Amino acid sequence: MKISSGFRSVAFAAVAAAGVSLAGAAHADSGTVRFSVYKAAFFIGGSGGEGTLTFHGRRYPISIGGISGGLAFGASKTYFQGTVRHIRRPSDVTGVYGAAGGGGAIGKGAQVIVMTNDKGAQLELTGRQVGLQVNADLSGLSISVK
């Protein structure tokens, strides 16, 4: 059975592309993040904060900003910590992260969230919230490395 040279070329290109894709993913790395976010809302809300990205033993300052809209009211401060995966350099963390969710806290509460930006960086965060905040909204979070 003979295989045409055109088919062999296409098959070889597909295998090569898959290998490059897997090699790129294999070289992606992870780091840790810690930051605090202040949030205030009455239907439309805003948030801001700052923290640190630790990547390959170095610390990088980061700033946080965001908006939310929907059924939301109150004010809170949340301390987040977690892992950022699928990054090659600190600047890969920079971007807009979106999430749809709901939750609430009166006094102290817990938050857990996973978000991805347009570069493929994935944040896996846990947090501790202080304040009064009730929400069932769509939120956006912007992170930039200073």
- In this structure, what CATH number is given to the domain that contains residue 84? 2.40.128
Q: 131 versus 1: which is more confidently predicted? A: 131
| pTM, 2 dp | 0.69
**Any domain includes 1:** no
Asked whether the predicted pLDDT for residue 52 surpasses 70, the reply is yes
**Any domain includes 4:** no
Ordered DSSP codes for 59-84? EEEEEEEEEEEEEEEEEEEEEEEEEE
**Any domain includes 40:** yes
- Residue 105: domain span: 29-145
Distance CA 119, CA 95 (A): 8
Q: What are the pLDDT digits (tens) for 54-99?
A: 999 999 999 998 877 666 778 888 888 999 999 999 999 999 986 6
Provide the pLDDT for residue 139.
63
3-state secondary structure of 3: coil
**Any domain includes 135:** yes
**Any domain includes 5:** no
3-state secondary structure of 119: coil
Burial class of residue 10 (count of CB atoms within 10 Å of its CB; 0-12, 13-18, 19+):
exposed
Strand partners, 134: 73, 104
Distance CA 123, CA 120 (A): 10
Asked whether the predicted pLDDT for residue 53 surpasses 90, the reply is yes
User: Considering its fold, how many domains does the chain have in total?
Assistant: 1
Alpha helices of the chain — where are they, by DSSP H? 5-27
Phi and psi angles of residue 11, each rounded to the nearest 5 degrees, phi first: -65, -45
Structural tokens at position 26: 């294999």
Q: What are the pLDDT digits (tens) for 21-41?
A: 444 445 689 999 999 988 887
